[in-house]
Chains A and B, each alone.
Chain A
Amino acid sequence: MEKTLAKKDFPQWVKKLTSWKIYLPKKDAGGRWNYAEADGEDVLETRQATLPPKTILFPQNEILLEFSKSRKGNAETLEVKEVLPPAEPTVVFGVRPCEAKAAWLLDEVFASEPRDIYYWMRRENTTLVGLACTPPPSDNCFCTSVEGSPHAEEGSDILLTDLGDKYYVRSLTAKGEALINAAKGLFEEAKPEDRKKVKAVHTESEKKIQRELKGARAVSEKLKTMFDSPFWDEEAMSCLRCGICTYICPSCHCFDINDEIIDTTPLRGKRVRTWDTCQFPDFTMHSSGHNPRPDKASRLRQRLLHKFQYFVQVYDKFMCVGCGRCITMCPVGIDIIKVLEKVRDHGA
């Protein structure tokens, strides 16, 4: 389904979606962009939020179950209650196409057996409305180098393209159509000249991407030979071992599960899944005390290998969507493009 929507009607569309919970990028008091709930004054902007919409599909804390112990006389009973995410229909507007593509990558991971019901309940209840990037939201965008594009459709339910005074609205799934049907009167059928214009805008947007990694597939191949290279020690010298690069990454999805006690008498607690990262020393710590990734070099290597070698081997896709967040946010300027270029040219 291809339609157009006058830009001035966008707030109307948001207002009509009364049975959805709505998020879109908003600027906070400190000037940062975040995915926040709609508040009646909603406009779409091509901005990169600090945290990707991963926070909505795969929140940092997810309660899996609750448990409590009770005692009657000498008999102790342990009660375990399943906790599922709230089944509320949700829309995220203004998702960067790379972020939607990251959701599509997470789908691969969480669809493999055993299927992750917590992720899928949220995913199936969430409609992602992408907005093509014109211009790129960051100087460090490099989506076109990792088989993506500023107007990629993977993962989105609707892709919007800014045509000046209106949005070109391309619905990609039934979820997307439901969103359009909820405010039918606002949309017009797309005309052939709109289609032509969209194509031109899309082609133009690709040219505006400022950064490039040539030969990403070759990097994947090369990485297979570099596991034991001293290269990683050199590259990781300035790494601080913090979790920024992975926590703000739209496609990083590693987690930890802990039982968290709320009360001890009587025992009451919850099992919580939280984000975790390969960059922390305790991520791979065995209970024996052995740590197979004992230093920051091996952990930096892991991040790159997961994204550019292992994932490619299993799913034939890069686990990096080229949003450039890790480059922009790294406190010591570790630049994934530069590192991968060095990998590519290593020993040549």
Chain B
Amino acid sequence: MAKIDTLKEEARKLLQDGKVKYIIGYGAGSNGWPAAPLFIKQPEDVDKLIWDPTCIHNLVRFLVDEKRRKGKEKPPDKRPVGIFVKGCDSRAIVVLLQEKFIERGDVYILGISCEKAGVVDDAKLAKKLAGKKVITIEVDDENRFVLTTAGGKIEVPVEELLAERCLECRANFPVIYDVLSGEKTKRAVDKPFGSVEKIESLPVEERWAFWKEQIDKCIRCYACRSACPMCYCDECVVDSIQLAVSADTTADEKAGRIKWIQRSAAPSENMIYHLVRAIHLGGRCIDCGECERVCPLDIPLRLLNKKLEKEAKELFDYEVGFDPDLPALISSFRDDDPQDFIR
């Protein structure tokens, strides 16, 4: 298992030398989940950093906040931000670089390899623990999760508790980094799109029944877009916050603003919201699975994004999040793109 000690020392040095503004990493959580995002400004706080398979959060989301914050600073502190990333998270940085949302110099990347494991799924873990409280989770040499609870240790093969996205992961070590901890070993993935194929194999009405039931649950808390490092639009299609108003703007003009999606959490409106989000992430989603993890109603949102990831791969041979110089999927084309669906 990757060790955090070397990264801690690196982080301490960075802070001592004032080379980074602050460091985004993982610290101890307090709500029953062992890990939580941690922001460190002082070198002496570096010891609060942790790394274990409960470090599920994609911290790259906080770079979006940082960019906004920096925009308001006068004068802006141009030092980079230190950030801990797993393989999937690092691909999110690649996309932000590709889209020129951030520059390489804005981040100092402390990469950690998941090696042959990954992160645990909260629901699977809760089921395994059956009410017991987990104190620590580690990966042993034989690639098993070792759960330490008050009542003793439990050993589980990683596959049993890994998050779905880890089971289909194609980047279990960071693809971009300044320092790296852990080995660049790959875990074999037999079916990178197995979960999507399962749904595709259903007849059309069953597919609809499945998605309708899921999307009907949505309460539009927008946690999915809030947790997503790619959802950085200043104004989302469901909001209306940036309406430019001048002294001459009439009430009719304000009221006549197009509402693409109504505020009611009605099934049709929820569905349009999730379709828009999925298509907007087409060729951009790096499958960190955060949207699905944060959903309080457990809607399998990842399966929507994964579908478009699959199509991008199969139709256009496009894989995002490995090469920052790649043009964006939908602002590029090839002469021989498939068009058998066009009359």
Contacts and interface: CB of A to CB of B under 8 A. Distances in A.
Q: Do chains A and B directly touch (beta carbons under 8 Å) in the complex?
A: yes
Interface of A: 30-32, 50-51, 60-61, 139-140, 234, 237-238, 240-244, 247-248, 256, 258, 260-261, 272, 274-275, 277, 280-282, 285, 287-289, 291, 296, 327-335, 338
Output the residue of A237, A248, A272, A338 with the most chain B CB within 10 A: A237
B297 A282 contact: no
Given A243-B223, A282-B240, A287-B243, A331 B266 contact: no
B307 interface: no
Contact of B264 (A30, A243, A260): A260
Interface string B113-128: 0000000000100010
Cβ-closest 7 pairs across A and B? A333-B36, A242-B223, A331-B294, A242-B226, A243-B221, A333-B29, A240-B226
Contacts of B35: 333
A277 B241 CA distance: 14
Nearest to B299: A30
A328 B223 contact: no
Q: Is the interface of A mostly helix, strand, loop or mixed?
A: loop
Contacts of B39: 234, 237-238
Interface in B1-55: 29-33, 35-39
A77 to B, nearest CB: 20
Given A61-B266, A139-B133, A258-B263, A335 B31 contact: yes
B254 interface: yes
B284 interface: no
Contacts of B263: 256, 258, 260, 272, 274
B296 A248 contact: yes
B185 interface: no
Contact of A329 (B222, B242, B296): B296
B30 A333 contact: yes
B265 interface: yes
A299 B59 CA distance: 21
A331 B223 contact: yes
Contacts of B30: 333, 335, 338
B241 A281 contact: yes
A288 B254 CA distance: 11
A234 to B, nearest CB: 8
A140 B31 contact: yes
A285 B241 contact: yes
A260 B255 CA distance: 11
Given A238-B39, A260-B263, A333-B31, A60 B123 contact: no
B265 A244 contact: no
B328 to A, nearest CB: 25
Contacts of A242: 221-223, 226-227, 294
A261 B256 CA distance: 11
Interface size class of B (residues with CB under 8 A): 35 or more
A61 B57 CA distance: 32
Given A31-B123, A244-B221, A140 B32 contact: yes
Contacts of A272: 262-264
B219 A240 contact: no
B302 interface: no
A345 to B, nearest CB: 15
Nearest to A29: B213
Nearest to A237: B39
Output the residue of A237, A240, A328, A329 with the most chain B CB within 10 A: A240
A274 B245 CA distance: 25
Contacts of B32: 139-140, 327-328
A289 B244 contact: yes
A244 B296 contact: yes
B296 to A, nearest CB: 5
Nearest to B39: A237
B245 A289 contact: yes
A238 B62 contact: yes
A243 B222 contact: yes
B33 A333 contact: yes
B293 interface: yes
Given A30-B298, A32-B298, A247 B221 contact: yes
Nearest to A51: B219
Contacts of B123: 31
A277 B62 CA distance: 21
B61 interface: yes
A242 B295 CA distance: 10
B323 interface: no
Nearest to B224: A242
Contacts of B265: 60-61, 274-275
Nearest to A326: B31
B239 interface: yes
A328 B31 contact: yes
Contact of B239 (A30, A248, A281, A329): A281
Contacts of B245: 287-289
B264 A274 contact: yes
Contacts of A289: 242-245
Interface string B227-249: 10000000000011111110000
Contacts of A338: 30
B39 to A, nearest CB: 5
A140 B29 CA distance: 13
